[in-house]
Structure 1
Amino acid sequence: MVVENFLPANFGYAIFVYLYSFVMLMYLGIKVGAARKKFGVKYPTMYSDKDQIFNCIQRSHQNTLEVYPQWLVFQTIAALEYPVAASVLGAIWVTSRFSYAWGYSTGDPAKRMHGAYGYIGLFGVIIISITVALNLLGVL
């Protein structure tokens, strides 16, 4: 197959992490939709001036979407050279977004820090991406 000529053998793990991240994004989006219905927040209103819990649920989804494109880039760069390590780090990051959202959706914004372990995954793939770049430039 053509794909096998371009991707490392273990890149399939990274693909499963991308699929896991899709499930996570869909879950967070569904939670926002359910909260809109529960708290009566109509589209296109982004935040409620009446209910802090809705705002926390919506914000956990929005924050994830804010960092998601950058994570995808670094995840892909890292996985092209180190697919297993990148996949483990990616799974940590994706899982942390569930923890972040569950903590945040309590209505206590401080509980969003339950997902702080996700920085291990995010910074991990950033560091690996820097390593890949330096290798390509012949610095390492």
Structure 2
Amino acid sequence: MTTSIDELLPHHFGYVILTFIYSYVLLMYLGINVGKARKKYGVKYPQMYSDKENIFNCIQRAHQNTLELYPAWLIFQLIAGLAFPLSASVLGAIWVTSRFSYAQGYYTGDPEKRLKGAYGYIGLFGAILLSLTAALQLLHVI
């Protein structure tokens, strides 16, 4: 007997999958921008940063910081999405969108402007809270 995906995953989990796809678009966008900046500012591989071009460093940091947060976000987004798919999808879309805002602020060369993406903590902490709720439900604590 075969099991269909509808039987394995909760109703509306497709929105969570779309959030993951949206996050992949984000990573590609940030990575492409780093590649373009490498060419523009003459920063050769494997060099991560430039001693001369602060703008390059800001573009690189926007990507690197997102990559640093991404694994934790993926785990919490998945757990939250399995338990609360619609809420997790909204929170995930907030987090991903905020990373675009974060990058645009950082790309100005003024690192303080990266705080334009600070609203993303709503999405990240929301996913963490939903994951915690799911864990407590599974443990029959709540």
Q: Which residue of 2 aligns with 1:64?
A: 66
Q: Which residue of 2 aligns with 1:16?
A: 18
Give TM-score scaled by structure 1 length: 0.99
Matched, 1:35 2:26: no
For residues 16 and 5 of structure 2, what CA distance do their matches in structure 1 show? 14
1:1-140 mapped onto 2 (5 Å cutoff): 1-140=3-142
Q: For residue 129 of structure 1, what is the amino acid of its counterpart? A: S
Q: For residue 18 of structure 1, what is the amino acid of its counterpart? A: F
For residues 13 and 26 of structure 2, what CA distance do their matches in structure 1 show? 20
Specify every segment of 5 or more residues in structure 2 that has no aligned partner in the other structure, as ranges.
none
Q: For residue 21 of structure 1, what is the amino acid of its counterpart? A: S
Deviation >4 Å, runs of 4+: none
For residues 141 and 127 of structure 2, what CA distance do their matches in structure 1 show? 19
For residues 30 and 67 of structure 2, what CA distance do their matches in structure 1 show? 10
Q: For residue 78 of structure 2, what is the amino acid of its counterpart? A: T
Identity %: 69
For residues 8 and 133 of structure 1, what CA distance do their matches in structure 2 show? 16
What are the superposed Cα offsets for residues 50-105 of structure 1, whole Å, 9 maximum, x if unpaired?
A: 01000000000000000000000000000001000000000000000000000001
For residues 112 and 129 of structure 1, what CA distance do their matches in structure 2 show? 27
Give TM-score scaled by structure 2 length: 0.97
What are the superposed Cα offsets for residues 22-72 of structure 1, whole Å, 9 maximum, x if unpaired?
A: 000000000000000000000000000001000000000000000000000
Pairwise CA distance, 1:6: 1.3
Q: For residue 12 of structure 1, what is the amino acid of its counterpart? A: G
CA RMSD, Structure 1 to Structure 2 (Å): 0.6
Pairwise CA distance, 1:113: 0.1
For residues 85 and 4 of structure 1, what CA distance do their matches in structure 2 show? 19
Pairwise CA distance, 1:2: 2.1
Task: Provide the aligned length of Structure 1 versus Structure 2.
Answer: 140
